[in-house]
Structure 1
Amino acid sequence: MTFSICVRESYTDETGDEQTRYGVAVTTRLAGVGTLCPFASESGAVATQSLVNVDLGRKGIEYLDDGLAVGDALDALLNADDGRAERQLHGVGAEGEFAFSGEECRPWYGDIVGDNYTVAGNLLTGGDVVEAVAETYEEGAAEDPDDPDSDPETPLAERLVDALAAGHELGGDKREDLHVQSAALLVRSTEDREMTPYYDDLRVDATETPIEDLRETYELAAEGYEMAMERYEEAYADDEAAGE
């Protein structure tokens, strides 16, 4: 019913410190996917789908926050889950990637594990959907194609929308008789920022055009964030200093 992507990116913040950000984005031909599938923290990103078990996402992030490796955390949860044959679960942690697709998921289903990212989907029109998501993310992941550690100027949230759009254009979820769709994205970072960008946590809960609506929501949220920072950045800084 779904396809999704989880990513991990390293970057240098404005003060020269090394940071890590995690992102997850998902879309499906059902309403409210943002309440069920995507999970992220400053320790990792996880997506739970197919026959959804929300606890796999919630506990998966808790385990990553406790310092477990993503493979150990998610594999342990699946081993304790009687419904694992119908689950899809994938994600990234501080080190490593993990993806699982149970043998009873509905075709087409499958997953891709790449460097610093995972993609998975089920009930899709074909494997080219997840391939397009992966390829589009890879193309936008580095500002300098010859330097994979270079940091793109385009925010991760926007690039996650681009990745979903690529899969959607190739057919995405094959259940064309279901016109109500949804999409969501979530980005978290180890960086201590004065204000988290509004566009790092977005959901479109019920629409016939999920990717278009998610992109429009992102653009408006980005515009609002820029306006707020331009007008009130000094006030935010003063509030932070007063709380020290």
Structure 2
Amino acid sequence: MTFSICVYEPVETDGDESGDDEGEREHHDCFGVAVTTRLPGVGTLCPFASERGAVATQSLVNVDLGRRGIEYIDDGLAVDDALESLLNADHDASSRQLHGVDAEGTFVFSGEECGDWYGHREGDGYTVAGNLLTGESVLEAVADSYESSDRSAPLSKRLIDALAGGHDEGGDKREELSVQSAAVVVRTTEEHPLDPSYNDLRVDATETPIADLRETYEFAKEGYEAAMERYEESYEADQQETEASEAEEN
């Protein structure tokens, strides 16, 4: 009833704003997950991400698989060990789909009792999975869209575009269900004065989930940029004050 993509991207940026090639480079980890389905509220159930990993749980959804999977990854467990251990303790594993990424690897699982067509795919730093789809080409379109995306664009935008690729290919086959939903969540180790609002978006009930999520993204990005233009100095001063206070406490 769902298809989704989980992604890990290492990002390097200039350590200063001078543009000097000799300046120190800064490394950031970026994790994201995007999902859509022909049911309402998918953003409350399926996508999970942190600064150390991304997980999607679907088919016969068990929210704890996503929530605890991220907790295990944050505690230092590898993504395959984390998710495999959860499935081993799950009596309904045969009806689950579970996949995810961390900075070192990927994990994908589709139980044999998932609704046809179902399957998954792994690539370099990403996983894709879906069930009750029109066919395998849906996942191929999601993966192809992500792989060919412009890495200079925000990850959240490119994940929405990847969903659009699968949606245009047929997506969820249950056309009798008109109320749909979609979501995207991105987490990064890069520090911002204010976390980008376009990195955590949901459309909970609509007949046009991808178009609505894309429009929501555009508005959120526009609003974030306007807020930063007006209040960035205040946000930075507040962040520095908080960091100084925490340093004193420690």
Return the match for 1:21 from 19, 27, 30: 30
C-alpha RMSD of the superposition: 0.8
Q: Deviations over 1:161-202 (max 9, x none)?
A: 100000000110000000000000000011222111010000
- Residue 12 of structure 2 corresponds to which residue in structure 1? 12
- Residue 147 of structure 1 corresponds to which residue in structure 2? none
TM-score norm. by structure 1 comes to 0.94
Give runs of aligned pairs for residues 1-244 of structure 1, distance below 5 A: 1-15=1-15, 16-140=25-149, 143=150, 152-243=151-242, 244=244
Q: In 2, Cα distance between the equivalents of 1:2 and 1:160?
A: 15
Q: In 2, Cα distance between the equivalents of 1:104 and 1:119?
A: 18
Could you tell me which amino acid in structure 2 is paired with residue 205 of structure 1? Answer: D
How many angstroms does 1:14 deviate by?
Answer: 4.1
Answer with 197-206 or 15-24: which moved more: 15-24
- Residue identity over aligned pairs, in percent, reads 68
Q: In 1, Cα distance between the equivalents of 2:155 and 2:164?
A: 14
**Given that residues 110 and 127 in structure 1 are in contact (C-alpha distance below 8 angstroms), is that contact kept between their aligned partners in structure 2?**
yes
Q: In 2, Cα distance between the equivalents of 1:50 and 1:242?
A: 45
Q: In 2, Cα distance between the equivalents of 1:186 and 1:127?
A: 24
Answer with 30-39 or 190-199: which moved more: 190-199
Give SS of 1:192's match.
coil
TM-score norm. by structure 2 comes to 0.92
Q: In 2, Cα distance between the equivalents of 1:17 and 1:173?
A: 40
Q: In 1, Cα distance between the equivalents of 2:58 and 2:146?
A: 20
Could you list the structure 1 runs, at least 4 aligned residues long, displaced by more than 6 angstroms after superposition: none
Give the number of aligned pairs.
234
